Amino acid sequence: MRLTKMHGLGNDYVFLDAIAEPALQDIADPAGLARRVSDRRFGIGSDGLIMIAPPTEAAREAGAGLRMRIWNADGSEAEMCGNGLRCAVKLAAERGEIVLRGGCVMVETGSGVLRARVGWGPGLEYSRVDAVSVDLPPPRFDVGAVGGEESLLPAACRGVPGPFGEVTPRRVGEWESVLVSVGNPHMVAFLEEPIESVDLGRIGPAMERHAAFPKRINVQIVNVLARDRARMRSWERGAGLTMACGTGACAVLAAGYATGRLGPCAALELPGGQLFVEWDAAARALRKTGPAAYVSEGDWLGDEVITDPPFPVLESERLLLRRQEWSDVPAIHAMMNHPEVGPKLLTPPVPYPEGEAEKFVARTRRGFREGTAMAWAIQPREGPAFVGNIGLRIEKQHSRAEIGYTLDPAHWGKGYASEASRLVLGHAFGAMGLQRVFASHFVWNPASGRVLEKAGMTLEGILRQHVNRRGTFEDCRWFGITKDDWARGREGVS
């Protein structure tokens, strides 16, 4: 399972791309996965998990080109996340997974279909998204909009008239708060004391789970610095203290404008950076603009989340071909850095860096799950646990695969490579039902050709200057075998 970690002003999320991998939409327990990946000690560490996917049919008819779902770090599903939405749009746009119309895309969320604008920044032909603006629906200030219990939320003062009508601040604990929904629920407290002096880590949980909010609420505390500038901190339901909260920033602007503390646009300073938020009266939308950034990408290997199908073990009198294990990494690293191995291969880097073997094992496991590759460790029945690897790169559309192997030089000349190749060919044509297997080697490395011939493959020709190997175009000898060839060989027919 391929995961990408991104952040918007330090509000970080782990992303599942169900457009690239549609099967991810069928994950049995996304809430459990969110809890596991979000754990900052035993997981990746994040404020939650976000899935991007094709929109539902109803949303597509409404113009949506992308769908976003979000689960908080505690596994609860949220309606929306402004920072997460900016990251989602950047990810999908740069991967070419959405169609932009006038630089915009409509995104299906739990708060409805929202408009996002993409700003392309400097880079390779402006291929990088520099900033994303998101339009949120008009704010709602009634207690019911935030799922509050009216009887437990006494008025803190008389209603305040403003651009959104009369707004009545409410008493929540010791704070006078403005309750506002911008697609998800927020309580905004404008304070005189510096917000840094408030123990929000202690007060936030009590406010989030206040009896007046059965479905919980997001908490923002604010110092207004000027009509167009304020500082804020957030406690997000299901995530806790966060470096930034995009919908929270919109809630702060809406609450400040509604009560006369802020103008219709403001720069809001969050612990993770600055967001610009404005009320577009003509479009009747709260618009926020800010950056989104990548952190990392890799495979999630949690045993409770990913269950590989049974891996086929292949056996002969001398050899055992088994799944590559993480314990093989040191031996793979040493083999690939041998002067007789790395320089003879096409793609692996030379020298072979630390961490590359782990990436190789992860890729082979992912390829097996996706049905695009298989890779075995070669283990003699008598001898070391690992002497090399052998695998198939599978092309399902053409019912064919390319076979390749690497063997530690300490075990050359023992026939292991040919023996392992025969086992893999038997599996390819027998259990897998492939129609053809092919292989190639550089013309200056005839030993590889002898291995392929002993395995039963036939030289089909020479491809001149076929590959660019580290700046040099190399000739390759091409070998192949079909299912019929293999069957005749088993029957002893020449």
The confidence score (pLDDT) of residue 304 equals: 47
The confidence score (pLDDT) of residue 214 equals: 93
| DSSP β-ladder status, 175-181 and 472-482 | unpaired
The confidence score (pLDDT) of residue 397 equals: 92
The confidence score (pLDDT) of residue 45 equals: 94
| Number of helices followed by number of strands (H, E) in the chain | 10, 26
The confidence score (pLDDT) of residue 23 equals: 86
The tokens describing 140, both together, are 């709602």
Superfamily grouping for domain 143-293: Diaminopimelate Epimerase; Chain A, domain 1 (3.10.310.10)
Q: Which candidate in 81, 87, 250, 476 is catalytic?
A: 81
* Domain 314-491 sits in CATH 3.40.630.30: yes
Superfamily grouping for domain 2-113: Diaminopimelate Epimerase; Chain A, domain 1 (3.10.310.10)
The confidence score (pLDDT) of residue 347 equals: 81
Element of type H or E holding 108 = strand 104-109
Q: Where are the beta strands (DSSP E) in 173-217?
A: 175-181, 185-190
Are domains 2-113 and 143-293 of this chain identical in fold?
yes
User: Residue 179: left if φ>0, alpha if ψ -120 to 50, beta else—which one?
Assistant: beta
Q: Which candidate in 87, 104, 157, 245 is catalytic?
A: 245
Element of type H or E holding 267 = strand 265-270
The confidence score (pLDDT) of residue 258 equals: 96
Report the chain's mean pLDDT, rounded to a whole number.
91
Q: Where are the beta strands (DSSP E) in 335-486?
A: 373-380, 388-395, 400-407, 436-442, 458-469, 472-482
The confidence score (pLDDT) of residue 122 equals: 61
- 399 in Cβ contact with 423 (< 8 Å): no
The confidence score (pLDDT) of residue 358 equals: 86
d(CA 394, CA 396): 6
What is the pLDDT tens value at each position of the chain, 494 positions in all?
889 999 999 999 999 999 988 889 988 889 999 999 999 988 999 999 999 999 999 999 999 999 999 999 999 999 889 899 999 999 999 888 898 888 899 999 999 999 999 988 764 444 578 889 999 989 999 899 999 999 999 998 888 899 999 999 999 988 999 999 998 999 999 999 999 999 999 999 999 999 999 999 999 999 999 999 999 999 999 889 999 999 999 999 999 999 999 999 999 999 999 999 999 999 899 999 988 999 998 888 764 444 557 899 999 999 999 999 888 899 999 999 999 998 888 888 888 988 888 888 888 888 898 899 999 999 999 889 999 999 999 999 999 999 999 999 999 999 999 999 999 999 999 999 999 999 999 999 999 999 999 999 999 999 999 989 878 999 999 999 999 999 998 876 44
The confidence score (pLDDT) of residue 370 equals: 85
The confidence score (pLDDT) of residue 365 equals: 84
Q: Is 245 a catalytic residue?
A: yes
Break the chain into its structural domains and give their ranges: 2-113, 143-293, 314-491
The confidence score (pLDDT) of residue 41 equals: 87
The confidence score (pLDDT) of residue 213 equals: 96
DSSP 419-455: HHHHHHHHHHHTTS--SEEEEEEETT-HHHHHHHHHT
d(CA 287, CA 29): 33
The confidence score (pLDDT) of residue 305 equals: 46
